[in-house]
Chains A and B, each alone.
Chain A
Amino acid sequence: MAGELLWKRGEGPTSLGVAGGNDFQWCFSQVKGAIDEDVAEADIISTVEFNYSGELLATGDKGGRVVIFQHEQESKNRPHLRGEYNVYSTFQSHEPEFDYLKSLEIEEKINKIRWLPQQNAAHFLLSTNDKTIKLWKISERDKRAEGYNLKDEDGRLRDPFRITSLRVPVLMPMDLMVEASPRRIFANAHTYHINSISVNSDHETYLSADDLRINLWHLEITDRSFNIVDIKPANMEELTEVITAAECHPHQCNVFVYSSSKGTIRLCDMRAAALCDRHSKFFEEPEDPSSRSFFSEIISSISDVKFSHSGRYMMTRDYLSVKVWDLNMENRPVETYQVHEYLRSKLCSLYENDCIFDKFECCWNGSDSAIMTGSYNNFFRMFDRNTRRDITLEASRESSKPRATLKPRKVSTGGKRKKDEISVDSLDFNKKILHTAWHPKDNVIAVAATNNLYIFQDKIN
């Protein structure tokens, strides 16, 4: 089954909204989260994900909480504005745990959230921390049954012998209550830290990947999973490469990819073998010898891999660039976009302060015509694949006036800094945008800046 096809040719967003362009401009819509300078560690957002329709937007944080926002219908008074996202449900997904065998604390930080396609009134999502994946059901309750026979309104049981007549309970409306309940807990299958989960297009299975292994689960079965990739060497001394991300193909339920810390991507076909240690395709770009440095391997480490909605391309994010690959061509990407090339001369410092290990994510827009990824100083970048134009925007409180148009930002690389430009040395490397999400259909984006969630949307001129 192809699953819900979100990619439509010729429809949907087709441009970045570059200022002066003929389409639109990005403007501020909302910001969620506390304003204080003092950011509690637990409030730092660690994942952002729209559901398949875009109606719901989920965030996970380091404190193990999941907050789901729901898109309100557009107001009749202002049809040109999209509705807002308001809190729909909040729940504690994961708690800190203690591994007694290893004497280690297991962080409750939510590493990834993935929605399941909606099949009934309830919504389902998978959330994972380093070790355990949970399937949550989010359902609404807006009616309550009243008039039970065996218990009274307080809930106390009635004495059966006192009942003289029977009545049929009636459903009375009540205030909307959104309940989140854990339906499945998939535990004890990962020795190493889970970095990815991905729902398969068959809507029955999903994969979970840690540093060295990838497991395939059935959504109904929690006590076992299939190990489909294992790159752990017999002698751990020989370990030089780890798995960094994995994703199922959006349409072919037998195909998945996983990326490595050495900048390679392997595409595997589960029909070929039960254990997919041998890849079907191997994607790697030959290294440019002129740009080789001590940090070449570290910056080639892929932090995220995402299939396009069409399933024909995939995108990888390494430290300095985003690459789009055609699945039919393994020897080099078809497109490469520099995210912040000005950092190349600063790699030594970035290595020293550990920023070089930051894992940025990337995402496609609904029509696969544009891609987005984050950077430092709360900047995020968008690239239009058709026009090859790019734009840098900032998620900041200063530009957070309602419907305020975002001004493109620029980092000055030369000696002379123009007005409104910011120099590389002035960038705040503590303000990093690692997680971004693009609405599957509309020009609405969610950008996580530390503990704040910014929502931007288009404003049609």
Chain B
Amino acid sequence: MIMKAQKRKLPPEDVEVSDRGSPFWESQRQFVFSVSLNKYQRGQELPEPSLRRSVLIANTLRQVSLEGCMAPPEDREVSQPPCSSSSAVQEGFFTAAAIHHSSVMFANSHSALASCPLLSLNYLSNCATSRSPASCHSNVPQSVKDEDEDWGSMSMDPDFSLSAAISSILTALDSTIDGSPQAAQRTPLRSLENLSGPSEGGVAWVKQGVRGYGGNWEPQDECRVRESSMEAMRSSYLTDLTVEDLFQDIDTSLLERDMGVLGLRGSGGGYPAGDDLLRPSSSSSPSFSAPPFSSQNHMREGLELEHLMEILVES
């Protein structure tokens, strides 16, 4: 039942840990998170998942993710090594992206009459925006915090309408490419595809951020990452993305790196992801009018992403 690529983490004791301050609480939380995610995905891959089971697992997943957001800031700053805070980031990605993907898989395998318990990711995005600045701040990997002081002031601005900015960018992108806002039969290009590759995701997302913030390369807060991906996912439910793509080694050190190195050129600029993005694809020319319930087509995803990158670069 545990995914092959993921090392199973057992909590030190198989007991219920209700005390959040307990050192076992976080490990158990992560264990429950991974098991829940696994179950949710596998359940959605079934032709007709049990609705009660899906709802219970989805609620648990949401709760566990939420509690991960709301962990006491002191604990994180003081005792948590950088890798675990980045794991929270990964969890955010995985939760939203994988659940989204699973929902899509579910939708793809059913007619319109079938129910589709898509997760509402409001909890996660609300968590990202409503969380106290201190805890936001604490989620950033230590190295980034040290490098950039201006970041802190940005993250603490409560009026910063991040979600609105991201949404407008995505909408603009959508309309640029397929000429219409989110219609029922949407073309496959979605912001989620920006996360399709291990490093592609990071780079593409950062580039989007750049467009919105006028070239400010400050590394973004993890909760913004999460929220922007939430926004994207909530608005895009038709994609051929596979879970494997998402679970490839997303290297959160991308976010820690000095973004100035990446530059806006996008033609490689020393960053390996650029090569991946611009790697010529062997299949036919990209098509943006794929039917919504088409079967998975990784090649098409790669082509569309490449096309997107070309557009971003040209603009």
Contacts and interface: CB of A to CB of B under 8 A. Distances in A.
Interface of A: 101-105, 191-193, 211-212, 232, 235-242, 244, 261, 290-295, 297-298, 301, 344-349, 351-352, 354, 357
Contact of A351 (B32, B59, B110): B32
A293 B51 contact: no
A430 B32 CA distance: 22
A294 B113 contact: no
B119 interface: yes
Contacts of B53: 357
**Among B1, B52, B53, B113: residue with most chain A CB under 10 A:** B52
A391 B125 CA distance: 49
A294 B47 contact: no
B15 A191 contact: no
B63 interface: yes
Given A191-B115, A237-B118, A352-B35, A297 B60 contact: yes
A293 B18 contact: yes
Given A104-B48, A211-B51, A344-B16, A294 B56 contact: no
A405 B43 CA distance: 44
22 contacts: A103-B111, A192-B115, A236-B115, A236-B118, A237-B119, A237-B120, A240-B59, A242-B51, A242-B52, A261-B52, A261-B55, A261-B56, A290-B18, A293-B16, A293-B17, A294-B29, A294-B64, A295-B16, A298-B56, A348-B28, A348-B31, A348-B32
Contact of B111 (A102, A232, A261): A102
Contact of A102 (B18, B64, B114): B114
Interface of B: 1, 11, 14-18, 28-29, 31-32, 35, 39, 47-48, 50-53, 55-56, 58-60, 63-64, 67, 109-111, 113-120, 234
Contacts of A345: 14-16
A235 B52 CA distance: 17
Contacts of A351: 32, 35
B15 A105 contact: no
Contacts of B234: 237
A18 to B, nearest CB: 31
A434 to B, nearest CB: 15
Contacts of B28: 294, 348
Ranked nearest first, the 10 interchain pairs of A and B with the lowest CB-CB distance are A237-B118, A211-B51, A237-B120, A293-B16, A345-B15, A294-B32, A242-B52, A104-B48, A298-B56, A239-B117
A193 B50 contact: yes
Most buried by A among B48, B53, B118: B48
Nearest to A351: B35
Contacts of A291: 16, 18
Given A102-B114, A240-B59, A292-B18, A352 B1 contact: yes
Contacts of A293: 16-18
A62 to B, nearest CB: 15
Contacts of B48: 102, 104
A346 B114 CA distance: 35
B14 A101 contact: no
Contacts of A235: 120
A183 to B, nearest CB: 29
A193 B55 CA distance: 14
Contacts of A298: 56, 60
Contact of B59 (A101, A104, A297): A297
A290 to B, nearest CB: 7
Given A211-B51, A244-B52, A345-B15, A191 B113 contact: yes
A265 to B, nearest CB: 16
Contacts of A242: 51-52, 55
A104 B115 CA distance: 13
Contacts of B50: 193
A297 B29 contact: no
A239 B55 contact: yes
Contacts of A349: 14
A238 B14 contact: no
Nearest to B237: A237
Nearest to A239: B117
**B11, B17, B47, B120: residue with the most chain A Cβ atoms closer than 10 Å:** B120
Nearest to A345: B15
Contacts of B29: 294
Nearest to A101: B111
A105 B52 contact: no
A261 B60 CA distance: 12
Given A241-B55, A301-B52, A348-B28, A295 B115 contact: no
A223 B53 CA distance: 31
B23 to A, nearest CB: 16
A235 B16 CA distance: 34
A349 to B, nearest CB: 6
A92 B142 CA distance: 66
Given A104-B48, A105-B47, A239-B117, A297 B63 contact: yes
Contacts of B109: 103
B63 A294 contact: yes
A239 B31 CA distance: 25
Contacts of B35: 351-352
A212 B114 CA distance: 13
Contacts of B1: 352
Nearest to A232: B115
Nearest to B31: A348
